[in-house]
Amino acid sequence: MGRMKLTALVIALLILVAACGGGGGGTDTTAAASGIEGGTEETGGGGEGTSASGGGEGEFSGVELALLIHPTLYAATGDDGGLVAEFEEMTGATVEVVTAPIGEHLERSMAEFASGSGRFDVINMQGQDLHADITPFLLDLGPYVAESGDWDYEDFPESLRTPATSAEGQVAGIPFRIGVTMMYYRADLLEAAGVEAPTNFEEFRTVAEALYEKDPSVTPLVQRGKAEEIVHDWLAFLHAAGGDLLNEDNSACTVNSEAGVKAATLWADFYEAGYLPEDLFALGRDDYIASMREGRAAIGNYFSPYWGTITEEGSEFAEDMSWALMPTEEGVDPGTAWYQAWYLTVAKDSKNPEAAWALVKHITNKENSLRSALDWANGPVRASVYEDASYVEEFPLAEDWLTAVAASRALPAVPTNTQIVDTLSKELVDIVAGDKEPQQGLDDACSVIDGLL
């Protein structure tokens, strides 16, 4: 895509951000809950022009790099005294760290791409942003990966590598952080109702009915129902039913498939029966976490890092919590759900691509990936981290988390993602509230989404 077209996109994005009041959002003060999702991210404060520690003597002595990164993700590298500072000390490079929330983050990236300034060398990007309007401005990391030796690119699950790889084989980014949908539940309530964690949708219905009959004051299932967030939670059910939002080449909407109707019908039936909260459409991230912590819900399908918040000190029911893979339909791989991932990319306009790649490689190597997960609450992207004995001891869920990561999918990487999510959000609210039949609502969503594509 040419710079003129990208400049037009930047102008449109600036107007959108201004209309929405910037990239604001609530700040999550709990390190264990450091999952970041579009629309519900912890924004932190923007930081400009800070160096992690300052360069010394080494391979890149005198080289200056700029890293644009979300503040919570920078914290997952150890902040100013962490991995970036170590890189400076090891290589002699100086790294300017610029932090920005999601809305501003993408806005600034696109503006610099349009100008060709080379302002940022390494840029932290969401997987759904690695689409055809952005990747031409990113360095192809494929040749660097091919020569990376025991850094071991294959250690990243294929489900994370594929979204960052073009049909021509260009590698646009290296996985850095992930959260995946997992089922977290109150084991004591299921035991009292005489049921076990469901493994498919039919069992889910049986379990919800038993829980409701045992104690109707506790909602059998809690999910998020606010605009945009309802899509993220519902996509896990769509994938678990064997469906997808778009077809394989992202050219057509497929959410109105049999699997989509099955997933939408489940939500609508649960809401009508009282198995989902009456105020579902007002619930966001903090609300559905609080529902489980405060004993108002029995089951929830959560962004995996929220396990730490649900079970942290102060939760009356922490000892009663357990977990399971997302229930899936016949023929669908166990654990298939939805994930959100972040990648480290190198700008094609970088004046120091070798040093920029070295920084990416340092942050994401096996040793530092483990440290990032154990010491700074990062969501691991390497299989070796999930399999490491020290990580398993700290997080007994590790094996199931890895199963879910390997089987799950993210939002497709297309330029109109924001509009697609908004369209689907509106239709899902109508479907779940009973104002539209599932097939009609999903057909209506696809008619709009196909136009956006």
Do 94 and 197 belong together in one domain? no
Q: Are residues 425 and 362 in the same domain?
A: no
Q: What's the rounded mean pLDDT across residues 10-21? A: 38
Helix intervals (H) in 129-193: 142-146, 158-161, 187-192
What is the pLDDT at residue 105?
A: 80
Buried b (16+ CB within 10 A) or exposed e, 373-389: bbebbbbbbbbbbbebe
pLDDT tens-digit readout, 284-322 = 999 999 999 999 999 999 999 899 889 988 888 999 999
Number of domains in the chain: 2
pLDDT digits (tens, 9 = 90+) for 401-426: 999 999 999 999 998 988 999 999 99
- pLDDT band, residue 109 (cuts 50/70/90): confident
- The whole-number pLDDT of residue 45 equals 44
Judge if 320 and 358 occupy the same domain: no
Q: What pLDDT score was predicted for residue 16?
A: 37
192/106 same-domain check: no
Residue 47 and residue 72 share a domain: yes
Q: What is the pLDDT of residues 154-165, one digit of tens each?
A: 999 999 999 999
- Indicate whether 270 pLDDT > 50: yes
**What are the start-end ranges of the H helices in 315-437?**
353-364, 366-375, 383-387, 389-394, 398-407, 417-432
Tell me what the mean pLDDT of segment 329-339 comes to: 96
Same domain, 144 and 229: no
230 and 314 inside one domain: yes
**Residues 6 or more apart in contact with residue 300 via CB below 8 angstroms:** 183, 184, 185, 221, 222, 223, 288, 291, 292
The percent of residues above 70 in pLDDT, for the chain, comes to 88
pLDDT for residue 57: 72
Banded model confidence at residue 103, pLDDT cuts 50, 70, 90: confident
pLDDT for position 202: 97
Averaged pLDDT of the chain: 88
Q: Distance between CA atoms of 277 and 112, rounded to whole angstroms?
A: 44
Which structural domain, as residue segments, surrounds residue 280? 181-338+413-452
Instruction: For residues 64 and 133, state if they share a domain.
Output: yes
Q: Which pair of structure tokens corresponds to residue 356?
A: 């920029």
* Domain identity same for 99 and 188: no
Q: Taking 90 as the threshold, does the pLDDT of residue 9 lie above it?
A: no
Whether residue 295 sits in one domain with residue 226:
yes
pLDDT in tens, 347-390: 999 999 999 999 999 999 999 999 999 999 899 999 999 999 99
Supply the pLDDT for residue 149: 87
Q: What percent of the chain clears pLDDT 90, i.e. is strictly above it?
A: 75
Statement: residue 190 has pLDDT above 50: yes
Mean pLDDT in residue range 161-188: 93
92 lies in the same domain as 104? yes
Task: Mark whether 23 and 142 lie in a shared domain.
Answer: yes
Q: Is the pLDDT of residue 86 over 50?
A: yes
Element spanning 324, H or E: strand 321-324
Q: Which residues pair with 171 in a beta bridge?
A: 165
User: Each residue of 202-237: pLDDT tens digit?
Assistant: 999 999 999 999 999 999 999 999 988 999 999 999
Tell me which of 108 and 253 has the higher pLDDT.
253
Of 207, 234, 231, whose CA–CA distance to 298 is shortest?
207
CATH number of the domain that residue 106 is part of = 3.40.190.10
pLDDT on residue 209: 98
- Secondary-structure breakdown of the chain: helix, strand, coil percentages, each rounded to the nearest 5: 50, 15, 35
